[in-house]
Structure 1
Amino acid sequence: MDVLKSLGHPEEIFNLVKFKMGGCRAVMPKLDYESMSESLRTCYLYLNQTSRSFAAVIQALDGELRHAVCIFYLVLRALDTVEDDMTIPLDKKVPMLNDFHTYLYQDDWSFTESQEKDRQVLEDFPTISLEFRNLAQEYRDVISDICHRMGVGMAEFLEKKVGSMKEWDQYCHYVAGLVGIGLSQLFSASQLEDPEVGRDTELANSMGLFLQKTNIIRDYLEDTQEGRTFWPQEAWSQFAGRVEDLAQPEKLESALSCLNLLVTDALRHVPDVIAYLSRLRNQSVFNFCAIPQVMAIATLSTCYNNPMVFQGVVKIRKGQAVTLMMEATSMRAVQTIIAQYSQEILQKVSLTDPSRDKTLHILALIQEKSTPLPSSLPSRTHHLSPMYLSAAMLLAALSWQYLSTTAAQAQGTGDMQGQ
């Protein structure tokens, strides 16, 4: 199925096959679980069970930073599970969110009443908090501080909707910008990155906001169907009486105008993303940070002016995701990818779109900041005749069927952890 979706993109088929045959090890080396304590192994088990997006890149980080980021992720996953659980009454949930950072230093605190799919991180929180307390002090201080600030912010937004664009920034700061800030401080604490990476909270915040806004934009239909609204009222109220109305077929033009306004707002963060990534020196940290960002701009490009956002699930192809993972390992390559997707969005900008001028302005700025060199990502298809291309794709598709079977037997757990 993945190969069929990539048929018009031979380089994706090439990378899917390469990834299956072990190319994933370049960005995701295998961990030595044997040398870990049982509780730490359990933490990595929970990481793989609860994260499709980040498990692989977290496990590829160097040295002790890997464990610190794994525990950071699980602590925030537990906090997020409390926030998401609609079965917990507000009078119980608000104090839990505000006090959650204190549970890190309580040996036996756990919560067994959650109905959420990731509830095991709450039910077995003592294992996570034990490994938290095993971390060096500088890591513990960062994780506890971010957990505290995030819990307070989540509690604040439980009782109010995202109204203005400014509040959208504030909400995204609480749930994702703080993650970017915390991670940056962990990078610096590990001494794999310069202290300036941890100090520049504005750039780190932008990294989180770009990812979070992309997810919110993409997940419009799923969220509204489940009774959640994260699109800011200041945006959607210009085009509809209720945010749910944007999904009505007769509202399509208004819906696309609202969608494009929000994509344009998310793109504001890309120059900061480029500035942040250009500071990084450690390869594992760079991969960890760059891969989600290029996935996000690819997702935004797919969402822009796309009616499917209001009708179904919008996802980038697995072949596209694998290609991005394997390519986004240098600043030059990342700039090229960003330039390519911003150019793709530019080609979709309508003459009548209300946000047109703002969109063109930010895309011009992104193009200026990305300034890629033509040699960064050579196309493999320019010199292939259509007949050769068809034969090559057929061969790749047949090879894929064979390799899927043999690779699964040979590698076991070698598959990518989702997208």
Structure 2
Amino acid sequence: MPLSGATQVLIVGAGPNGLACAITLATLGIKATVVDERSERPYGAKGCLIHARTMEVLKTIGISDNLKDIGIQSKGIVFFGAANPILNVDIAGLSESATEFPYILLTPQSEAERVFEEFLIDRGVEVIRNRKVIGFRESSEEGLRVYLEDGSSVIASYVVGADGARSTVRSLAGIPFKDPSSNVMYDENPSSASFMLFTLADVVLNIHSSIHIPRDAISWHLNGRIMFCPLELPEKLRHFDAPGSSFWRIAIAIPPKSATIPPRHPDQVYLQNEIDIRKPWKESVHLDHLHTAATYRVRSAVAETFFKSVGNGKVLLVGDSAHVHSPSGGQGMNLGICDAVALGRAIAQHIESGDDAIFIDYSSRRKEIAMQVIQATKRMTEIINIPNGWRRRIASILMYAANWITPIRRKIAWRLSGLTYR
């Protein structure tokens, strides 16, 4: 059914960021229209960590309780050198006065989206799918006329770009999107040899009982450049629920100028071979089933501004539409959700006052945090990227020493959890 008429707020993109913005507006009595070009909610190896600060923000819009029971409450991240742990980022060790949510919630992004969408539907807001935005222009009425691929259009006072790193909304608004270090535009395509690659996969593993892998924390094996994150077994994979088998997100880092480039969608043979080569443990680990996998190029970019007036309409950006960075530390979905809640409140305030200073402040504050996250994830990626040998041994010694210095260990936990961005 074609979209027509007018809406106060049009949110383009029904990922966690677009949905969180719509929920925030709904709690403030503003009903947004949410469109997405996809026909159904996707499942893929995307975000799977929800940090403490994000849970705090979600509590303010009444949805944190809906999330707590859909995943694993992880104690934190354990970094391994060879077979032994060298640094334990202990989120569970944060005091009760630090946060109500002293854990990392491990759940696939698709599950968070499901919870968000059900929450919205209960409040009379539905995601309108198969609706691809292809253009907009100033309307003679209040706002922008937004055109969709099916030939329909809608007038909106506020257009929110929550449509990812290749954002159509950002592109139509003419907002530059560049790497803050190199000033290279995101849409430019330099040689893949200059980028680190990450293969992310959701898999069922059969792990020998002698392997002491944490089942309540994320494990980063730096010598092998491979990560293991425990997840709850999806309902559709219950037939794999057997002794020794469990469900995991794995991340495999491939440094720049690597001799081998992974396929865009790796198969089970490729992933098993990579696990065997990287040898996170002496005993073998068997990959019983590949659920989903994809390879991503690690790039950083930030929009010049997260807000732009177009005629008498307002264009606003959240999440990957506004910033992208390394997946190290699982900050992407978290930063985007916090953007979205802040933007929902800013839109409500602007509806009330009409003062563009509200959006200028939103853009400035959220961009400042995005820049901090980009720098932090770049540093973590550099640590992962250190080649084995004497440099890796020195890095491991320094990390092991940091593990015994409480203020340093606490500072790392504070930043990883997002609490530092309050």
Q: Which structure is richer in relative contact order (CA contacts within 8 A, separation 6 or more)?
A: 2
For the criterion TM > 0.5, the same-fold answer is no
Going by fraction, where is strand more abundant, 1 or 2?
A: 2
Going by fraction, where is helix more abundant, 1 or 2?
A: 1
TM-score by length of 1: 0.29
TM-score by length of 2: 0.29
